Amino acid sequence: MDFNSERMALLAIDLQVGFCAPDGSVARRGRDTTMLQAAAKKSGELVAHVRNAGIPIIWTQMTLRPDYKDGGLLTDVYKPKIAAGGGLQRGTKDVDLLPGLDVRAEDFIVDKPRNSAFYASTLEAILRARRIESLLVCGVTTAMCVECSVRDAFQRDYATFVVADCVGEYNPERHRNALSAMAYGFGNVLSWEQTLAGLQRGRFTLAPGTTD
């Protein structure tokens, strides 16, 4: 099934200081952000190609109240170190998009309090207003915010195309498993070359159950 790029948007997920930068809250907790930095750099290249194709760009930012009362199980149980380290607090540098990314006034910036870009955010309203049918996806992390967003997009019948070179995870095995799960059940995983070819053609072919 083909999807025309005229009804496509780029969803750039959580390319933030907190997740990717060497001085972000995750790196301060001792995690290796090398893969995330590489994904962010490649995502920046992707943004340039997408702009040239006239495709709208939507950036997401994970952001929480300073007291984390909107964090729920995420900060209470599963990721308490976020709160303990003061990470992702609204209004701080940690939630900012990485310096050097080409964020422009015509782009959309969507704040979200959970992994999925659809939960408690304005994303779906933007997609419907722009009559978007498919999403090109980049960002971090592969197994968390990217995969959760792609799953939720699928449930809403948006076709998703995940650019493998433009997503990253702290754990390489978890990264590979997430790409495999998405390709198997609810999205296409594309190589860099396949992505550029699709942009040049002006259409992307959804092929379930495969990474081709």
For the chain, what are the domain ranges?
A: 2-205
The DSSP secondary-structure symbol of 98 reads P
The reported pLDDT for the residue numbered 70 is 95
Give me 188's structure tokens: 């296409």
Decide: residue 106, CB within 10 A, 0-12 exposed, 13-18 middle, 19+ buried: exposed
Among residues 108, 211, 206, 212, the alpha carbon closest in space to that of 158 is found at 206
The reported pLDDT for the residue numbered 209 is 66
The reported pLDDT for the residue numbered 207 is 83
Class (C level, CATH) for 2-205: alpha beta
What are the respective helix, strand and coil percentages of the chain, to the nearest 5? 40, 20, 35
Residue found under tokens 């083909």: 2
Among residues 156, 158, 118, the alpha carbon closest in space to that of 134 is found at 158
Report mean pLDDT in 10-residue bins for the chain, 212 residues: 96 98 94 96 98 98 96 94 93 97 98 98 98 98 98 98 97 96 94 97 85 46
Q: What is the pTM of this model?
A: 0.96
Three-class SS of residue 5?
helix
**Torsion-angle region of residue 88: left (phi > 0), alpha (psi -120 to 50) or beta?**
left
Task: Name the residue type at position 73.
Answer: L
